Chain A
Amino acid sequence: MSKSSKFDRRISRRTVLKGAAGAVGLAAGSGAITGFPYVRSADAKVLRYLGTAVNEGDEISKKCLADTGIKIEYITATTDDVTKRVITQPNSFDVLDTEYFSLKKLVPSGNIFALDAKKIKEFDNITPVFTKGQLPNGKKIGDQGTAPWKVLYLEGANSKTFSKTPTEFVTLIPTVYNADTLGIRPDLIKRPISSWTELLNPEFKGKASILNIPSIGIMDAAMVVEASGQHTYADKGNMTKAEIDLTMKIMTEAKKAGQFRAFWKDFNESVNLMASGETVIQSMWSPAVTKVRSMGIACTFQPLKEGYRSWASGFCVSKAVSGPKLDWAYEFVNWYLSGWAGAYLNRQGYYSAVLSTAKANMTADEWGYWMEGKAAVGDIKAPDGTILEKAGATRDGGSYDERMGAVACWNAVMDENDYMVRKWNEFIAA
């Protein structure tokens, strides 16, 4: 291999570009994954992938390179910084991994390319959760907030207006989503928890926490307020000023009474708070719960009777992308939906957008545990091989249909976002 790599270095760049695809095939075929031809081919097909750390796995980029010859260069930023970057530096990335709720800010900026649904092979197989707002079995799910189907289509290729009916111009191809709820420490709480109201229960004074990302934190707050019967929102994801005032007033009173130990903003902070016992009940993300559990500490992603707050993310393409790069972007998205990545995400406790292809890449036991709410027959392992659950365990919240069917609202950007951020600052200062 070293001989041939020396030879490669001598030949001109043009020949290499031409032969790049062949080189990938050769390298893959010969089983030599580490040779120079790989680096060469990487020079040819590179996509800059902007997103948060949550979905940027090394495993995924390695597998993608092996399957398609496309090298993914991750650009990692926080949720807020990703949005900032799309708006201020649209030339600095090719593929964008973002959430549907950001689209209300991103699409009007004109920096997002309208993808052609016909070029997405599995588009028709994407779960109806995204396209119609219903489960595969036809059950309607909650549509409060910026639900994906409200912002999935554009009216035209260069339109900045979301279409209410399906068109061929798609803003964001879904890849991963989940239903979020409260994480609890069952070993410290020692009694069943079944409602969002428990977050503000004085029993957990000084041991509760919520997210300090205003647009998500206020949704969790709204779930609590509604659960306690103090107010029923027309749309938790699009509150009126009066509703924002009311929600923040209730939260402020709780804060002043010392209900919250700390607020968290970062995935690792939430893991730390929970694992150290600083908090026993808090808003949390599924992989954070998994991480606490993998440290040998009891932690439950507790299903609650009022339902879940859901989020969904996927791929956008920058308007600055054109020519062959655009083809690679389509190739990458198609690869992502073709099953391997979907199975990888499902094994972490997320859900994949195209269920059929993911199922083909998982064992029957894995599919049963993660998607159907069945008891695991053998040990359930994470993608990296560590054991997550012993045989016999069932997933918190049950099957896909039970969890996604109980979604009450979606992460959102409100019309009164500016006012909400001001009120959130007031809440922090209180």
Chain B
Amino acid sequence: MMLVFALFFLLPLLFVTIVSAWDYNEYEMIPAFSLRGYSDTFEGCIADLPNLCTILKTYLKTLKLCLLTWVLTLLIGFTVAYFLAFHVRSKTWQIVLTLLCTIPFWTSNVIRMIAWIPLLGRNGLVNRGLEGAGLIHQPLEWLLFSEFSVVLALVHLFTFFMVVPIFNSMIRIDRRLIEAAYDAGATGWQTLVNIIIPLAKPGIVIGSIFVITIVMGDFVTIGVMGGQQIASAGKIIEARLNALQFPAAAANAVILLGITILIISALTRVVDIRKEL
């Protein structure tokens, strides 16, 4: 177990970190110490003040998308999990409905995203429908290739990663606690805030870790749904890789990893998952 972990996780990570401090030219990496990958990345961060430099803008945008996606997947995921855990009585139905949540994963990522175009496009179903109903006279441009469509696609994709861990935490809650709260005169809202949410916390944190790590590194969804016009941390790495600038890509990967670890460790500060599990 340790060996697999070391071989397939720690070692590659070590290589990425080492390579990030190498030099490079048009077609090869040069194993000489150079922080060019890093200094290029932060180019203009001081010189351009008070304007933001590329990397800060990119990360702010990525964090914004990440935050929006997180809030929405949490709200929707929590509601769905609550419904599954407390309103669906039969085990069979719980399983069937949970499996239904996996429908978005039945086709490939690319097909799923291309399928949004006939729905949200300028001549898509939504615009046609609204125009037909006389609600708008000009097609809504912001439906597609915008932050809206990016967040929509991300939420559609990743809510499932919230539902499962939260559902898992909820079905473990001892029903007698809820009955006791009811007997003690607590309102539904009080029960939710004081009993269910605290006890579902580990599920919430695990779901959040899933969603945040995936969205922080995403470049495919943001690329396609944003019409390639929205920058993301993952996109920068991809552009560098495609230009064969491996050390610069590695440096960006290390930065992204660092920031994601910071977010995750802050989250685990709030809830000690290991203790709760």
Question: In the complex the two chains form, is B231's CB within 8 Å of A276's CB?
Answer: no
- Interface majority SS on A: helix, strand, loop or mixed? helix
Please judge, given known A-B contacts A261-B227, A276-B118, A425-B231, whether A214 and B57 are in contact too, CB under 8 Å. Answer: no
A277-B123, A425-B54, A429-B61 known; A212+B243 contact, CB < 8 A? no
CB-CB under 8 A for A418 and B243, given A263-B229, A278-B117, A426-B54: yes
Query: Is B131's CB within 8 Å of the partner chain A?
Result: no
B243 engages A214 (CB within 8 Å): yes
**Interface flag for A80 (CB, 8 Å):** yes
In the complex, chain A residues whose CB is within 8 Å of the CB of B227: 260-263
Residue A104 interfacial (CB < 8 Å): yes
The 8 A CB mask of A44-55 against B (1 = contact, 0 = none) is 000000000000
Q: Is B145 an interface residue (CB 8 A)?
A: yes
Task: Select the residue from A106, A108, A418 with max chain B CB neighbours within 10 A.
Answer: A418
Out of A109, A261, A263, A424, which one reaches B28, CB within 8 Å?
A109
How distant is the Cα of A269 from the Cα of B223 in the complex, in angstroms? 12
- CB–CB B228/A214 < 8 A: no
A164 within 8 Å of B (CB atoms): no
A106 partner residues in chain B, CB cutoff 8 A: 27
User: Closest Cβ of chain B: how far from A151's Cβ, in Å?
Assistant: 13
Known contacts A87-B244, A262-B228, A276-B123; is-contact A424 B239 (Cβ 8 Å) = yes
- Cβ contact within 8 Å between A105 and B26: yes
Tell me the residues in window 200-236 of chain B with beta carbons closer than 8 Å to chain A beta carbons: 223-224, 226-231, 235-236
Are A255 and B26 interface neighbours, CB within 8 A? no
Q: Does B114 contact A (CB under 8 A)?
A: yes
Is A413 part of the contact surface with B, judged by Cβ < 8 Å? yes
Q: B245 at interface (Cβ–Cβ under 8 A)?
A: yes
Does B84 have its Cβ within 8 Å of any Cβ on chain A? no
Kindly identify, within residues 71 to 107 of chain A, every residue whose CB is under 8 Å from any CB belonging to chain B: 80-81, 83-84, 87, 104-106
CB–CB A105/B244 < 8 A? yes
| A-chain residues with CB within 8 Å of residue B228 when the two chains form the complex | 212, 262-265, 428
Place the interface of chain A in its size category.
35 or more
Q: Which of B124, B223, B229, B239 has the most CB atoms of chain A within a 10 A radius of its CB?
A: B229
A1: which B residues are within 8 A, CB to CB? none
Distance between A113 CB and nearest chain B CB, rounded to angstroms: 16
Q: Within 8 Å CB of A424, what residues of B?
A: 239
Q: Which of A152-205 contact B (CB under 8 A)?
A: none
CA distance A272 to B226 in the complex (A): 15
In the complex, A287 has a CB within 8 A of chain B: no
Which of B58, B239, B243 has the most CB atoms of chain A within a 10 A radius of its CB? B243
> Taking the complex as formed, is A206 at the interface, i.e. its CB lies under 8 A from any CB of chain B?
yes
A134 at interface (Cβ–Cβ under 8 A)? no
Closest B residue to A87 by beta carbon equals B27
Rounded to whole Å, the gap between the CB of A153 and the closest CB of chain B is 19
User: Considering the chains assembled together, what is the distance between the CA atoms of A264 and B57 in angstroms?
Assistant: 22
For residue A394, CB closer than 8 A to chain B, the reply is no
Q: Mark A250-264, 1 if CB is under 8 A from B, else 0.
A: 000001000011111
With A108-B27, A261-B145, A278-B117 already in contact, the answer to whether A255 and B229 are too (CB < 8 A) is yes
Of A106, A277, A428, the most chain B CB neighbours within 10 A belong to: A428
Is there a chain A Cβ closer than 8 Å to B187's Cβ? no
A410-430 interface (Cβ within 8 A of B): 413, 417-418, 421-422, 424-426, 428-430
Closest to B231 in A: A429
Residues of A within 8 A of B123 (CB): 276-277
Which residues of B sit under 8 angstroms from A264, Cβ to Cβ?
228
Interface string of B125-159 (1 = CB under 8 A from A): 00000000000000001001100000000000000
Chain A residues with Cβ below 8 Å from B223 are: 265
Most B Cβ at <10 Å: residue of A263, A269, A429: A429
When chains A and B are docked, how far (Å) is the Cα of A265 from the Cα of B141?
Answer: 21
Residue of B nearest to A420 (CB): B243
Q: Are B231 and A428 in contact (CB under 8 A)?
A: yes
CB of B112 within 8 Å of the partner chain? no
A255 to B27, CA, bound (A): 31
Report the bound CA distance from A268 to B224 in whole Å: 12
Near A by CB (< 8 A), chain B positions 32-48 give 40, 43
**Smallest CB separation, B171 vs chain A (Å):** 43
A residues with CB within 8 A of B: 80-81, 83-84, 87, 104-106, 108-109, 206, 212, 214, 255, 260-265, 268-269, 272, 276-278, 413, 417-418, 421-422, 424-426, 428-430
User: 26 A-B Cβ contacts within 8 A?
Assistant: A81-B242, A84-B241, A84-B242, A84-B244, A87-B27, A87-B28, A87-B244, A108-B28, A109-B27, A206-B141, A255-B229, A261-B145, A269-B224, A272-B114, A272-B117, A276-B118, A276-B122, A276-B123, A277-B122, A418-B40, A418-B245, A421-B240, A422-B43, A425-B231, A428-B228, A428-B231
Top 7 closest pairs, chain A to chain B, by CB: A262-B227, A429-B231, A263-B228, A80-B242, A426-B54, A105-B27, A421-B243
Query: Given contacts A262-B229, A278-B145, could you give 7 more A-B pairs where the C-beta distance is less than 8 Å?
Result: A84-B242, A105-B26, A255-B229, A276-B121, A276-B123, A428-B228, A429-B58
